[in-house]
Amino acid sequence: MNGYFDYNATTPLHPAARDAWLRASEKHWHNPSSLYRDAGLTSQQLESARERLGDLIGAEAERIVFTSGATESNNALFASLPADALVVISAIEHPSVREAVRGRNAVELPVNASGVVEVEELKQLITSKRPALVSVMAANNESGALQPWRELAALCREHGVLFHTDAAQWLGKLDAADLGDCDYITGSAHKFGGNKGCGFLVLPKEDSRLGFIRGGPQENGRRAGTENYPAIEAMVTALEAITPRLSEIQHTQSKLRDGFITEMRARFEPLRVISESAPRLWNTVLMVMPEHDNLKWLTRLSRRGFSISTGSACSSGKEGSSVVVTALGASAEELKRVVRISGGWETTEADWQALAASFVEVFEELNRGGKPQ
Ligand code: PMP
């Protein structure tokens, strides 16, 4: 049994990514900026990985800057904007966007009762406030709710406004072939079977303002520091390995996830599933349990071999800090009962059933008021 249900926090290394990382580390460990032959070969490999990533996400390779992950990409983008630029971010952005715009001239775009941004709301904001840039994530990390980024990007283009999407949760779970239609895209390798500490930011071709990490002239002068070619190779290989399987995985995994919700509903009443009526990532369930604090659920499930989360990993540990459930106007008491389950590409029906059965066991234990077994 695989009891890991926290894939939105991070994922294990994909076997193909592991092989690619080892091969690259052994053969192409040279500094791609050095001038001898072996370094040149590493540089060629790096540029070929950039091309391959560009093909997967529908963006020209020269638009891609490799970074240390989504947090850096988001921070780098906002740091590159003029100090007085007005930015719009959705109310459910990841802390790495929310914190990056702190102190800036920023307006929050609300979400509807399903936790989704409405195109019409953005249209009004654009017409009344004329922002320089709009940032709306592609898929939410807590609820899995998909945001209408294609429509939002088109609307922004029509009005001459730049559009950024944090696609950290979309990439590797849904087809990304037309993400390149967005002006800026954030991605993170460890969310889809790559290494931690590796990611990218896609920029418009002509944008050379990025100077968040300063030093050498790497990445066309846009991000200093020796490129982590082995991790980049592993990231691209993971995405190449998963992409052809995505529609089949989406089909089978969403059924298993929905079966889990049905099972839970039969046992727990009332069970509130956040964004249940919205299109969501096939692996995610964010729910408000009818009783008991989320940390009690989490620790007891953990003892039984299941890894789940309270809200998002970036805010867990801080009880009641779900960005999404807060944006939906939940009470402080409800916030303490939020749990997030996120399965993976290979999660089986038996894994989901075992998790549901464990929820029932934990519930009985908590109701008995007894000590954990
Ligand atoms: N954005 C989103 C939507 C995320 O889910 C995460 C990871 N929790 C991040 C940004 C940060 O990613 P990283 O760990 O690569 O910095």
Residue pLDDT tens, the chain, 373 long: 899 999 999 999 999 999 999 999 999 999 999 999 999 999 999 999 999 999 999 999 999 999 999 999 999 999 999 999 999 999 999 999 999 999 999 999 999 999 999 999 999 999 999 999 999 999 999 999 999 999 999 999 999 999 999 999 999 999 999 999 999 999 999 999 999 999 999 999 988 889 999 999 999 999 999 999 999 999 999 999 999 999 999 999 999 999 999 999 999 989 999 999 999 999 999 999 999 999 999 999 999 999 999 975 555 445 456 889 888 888 888 999 999 999 999 999 999 999 999 999 999 999 998 665 5
Q: Where in the chain are the domains?
A: 15-243, 245-367
279: preceding bond cis by omega (within 30 degrees): no
Cα(364) to centroid(ligand 1), Å: 35
- What ranges in the chain are assigned the alpha helix state H? 15-27, 37-57, 70-80, 95-98, 119-129, 149-158, 218-221, 229-242, 246-267, 294-303, 323-327, 332-335, 349-368
Q: Measured from the CA of 93, which atom of ligand 1 is nearest? A: 3
Sort strands 184-188 and 199-202 into parallel, antiparallel or unpaired.
Answer: antiparallel
Fold classification of 245-367 is Aspartate Aminotransferase, domain 1 (3.90.1150)
Determine the 3-state secondary structure of 340 from DSSP.
strand
Check if CATH label 3.30.70.1230 holds for domain 15-243. no
Is any atom of ligand 1 closer than 6 Å to the C-beta of 315? no
Distance CA 106, CA 78 (A): 11
pTM for this model (two decimals)? 0.96
**Closest residue by CA, ligand 1 atom 16:** 71
